[in-house]
């Protein structure tokens, strides 16, 4: 079992920026204290691997810092060399977890889940789409024919849906808030829209039904976007799950992959709690559950 970190590259955001960049190092440090042998630093993704998911022109504009002002605004993060390095490493962490999971059954990346990046643009704090890149690397390097992306972030995985749409071997599930960002949704293989204020019982009923549809796809690999922004009190969420509800959510995904006997890759995704300690606890709980599953 391994958990991969992307903290070899960090980004300093302007004071007051609403993206909680500090959460990543906090989650890594907490899990490293508990499982020091499990946490390993990832390498940056190669431009070649990124080109499987993104247009050459977009990659060049990111690399060279020539994104238009409107593109930077849509991204929601100021461009810098540090952002480019961090975004490459964030994809690299998911690819490292993929390689380990294909050999050993499961792995986690303590970042990633950047599901709003499209082939030709980034948005919603997502520069590169690590989930789409991992799906395409799984095809190229590991011979995976059928796979599923299970996206349980509170925001629809619009970039992932668009990037992988039309491939009958890829099933994309997005269980998300109906009235939340992005306000113009893409079409996943299965979209399940939830009302504002949705609590544990309603959420888990919807998830159970959705995961049976995923199982019917017969995936050979599951990529899990385990955002915790469905937690009650999240600044960008609007749902009302408890910590216990999130843990039961994760357990259902872990149980599905165990039942199907397929590798699992877990990525961190969103979490923007007013109480950052609650967000960090929720993120760390996902990976504790993963470690427990493999004992």
Domains identified in the chain and CATH numbers: 3-293 (3.40.800.20)
Closest CA to 192 of 234, 239, 128: 239
Query: What is the rounded average pLDDT of the residues 247-251?
Result: 98
Angle at 180 between CA 174 and CA 185, to 5 degrees: 55
Query: What is the rounded average pLDDT of the residues 67-83?
Result: 97
Closest CA to 272 of 122, 154, 128, 182: 154
DSSP secondary-structure letter at 147? E
Asked whether the predicted pLDDT for residue 137 surpasses 90, the reply is yes
Residue whose token pair is 């940056």: 44
88 beta partners: none
Residue 280: Cβ within 10 Å count: 22
pLDDT at position 295 is 64
Query: What is the rounded average pLDDT of the residues 139-151?
Result: 98
Query: What is the rounded average pLDDT of the residues 135-146?
Result: 98
Taking only the tens place, the pLDDT of each residue in 171-211 is: 999 999 999 999 999 999 999 999 999 999 999 999 999 99
- In whole angstroms, give the CA distance from residue 119 to residue 122: 8
**Contact yes or no for 234/271 (Cβ under 8 A):** yes
pLDDT at position 232 is 97
Residue of 54, 116, 176, 283 marked active site: 116
How high does pLDDT run on average in the chain? 97
Query: What is the rounded average pLDDT of the residues 76-100?
Result: 98
Closest CA to 257 of 211, 288, 292, 295: 211
Answer left, alpha or beta for residue 78, where phi above 0 means left and psi between -120 and 50 means alpha: beta
- In whole angstroms, give the CA distance from residue 230 to residue 278: 12
pLDDT at position 97 is 98
Query: What is the rounded average pLDDT of the residues 275-285?
Result: 96
**Contact yes or no for 163/118 (Cβ under 8 A):** yes
Is residue 116 part of the annotated active site? The answer reads yes
């Amino acid at each position: 079992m391994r958990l991969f970190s992307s903290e070899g590259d960090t980004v300093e955001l302007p004071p007051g920026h609403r993206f909680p960049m500090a959460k990543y190092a906090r989650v890594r440090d907490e899990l490293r204290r508990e499982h020091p042998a499990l946490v390993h630093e990832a390498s940056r993704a190669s431009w070649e691997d990124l080109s499987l998911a993104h247009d050459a022109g977009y990659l060049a504009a990111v690399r060279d810092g020539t994104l238009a002002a409107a593109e930077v605004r849509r991204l929601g993060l100021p461009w810098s060399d540090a952002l480019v390095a961090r975004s490459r490493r964030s994809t690299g962490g998911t690819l490292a977890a993929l390689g380990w999971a294909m050999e050993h059954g499961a792995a986690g990346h303590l970042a990633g889940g950047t599901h709003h990046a499209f082939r030709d643009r980034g948005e919603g704090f997502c520069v590169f789409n690590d989930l789409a890149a991992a799906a395409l690397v799984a095809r190229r390097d590991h011979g995976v024919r059928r796979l599923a992306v299970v996206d349980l972030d509170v925001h629809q995985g619009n970039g992932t849906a668009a990037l992988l749409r039309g491939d009958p071997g890829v099933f994309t599930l997005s269980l998300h808030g109906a009235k939340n960002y992005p306000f113009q949704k893409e079409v996943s293989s299965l979209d399940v829209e939830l009302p504002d204020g949705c609590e544990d019982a309603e959420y888990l009923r919807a998830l159970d039904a959705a995961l049976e549809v995923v199982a019917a796809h017969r995936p050979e690999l599951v990529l899990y976007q385990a955002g915790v922004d469905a937690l009650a009190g999240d600044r960008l969420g609007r749902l009302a799950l408890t910590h216990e509800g999130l843990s039961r959510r994760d357990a259902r995904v872990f149980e599905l992959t165990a039942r199907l006997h397929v590798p699992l890759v877990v990525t961190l995704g969103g979490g923007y709690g007013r109480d950052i300690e609650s967000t960090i606890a929720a993120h760390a709980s996902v990976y504790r559950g993963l470690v427990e599953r493999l004992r």
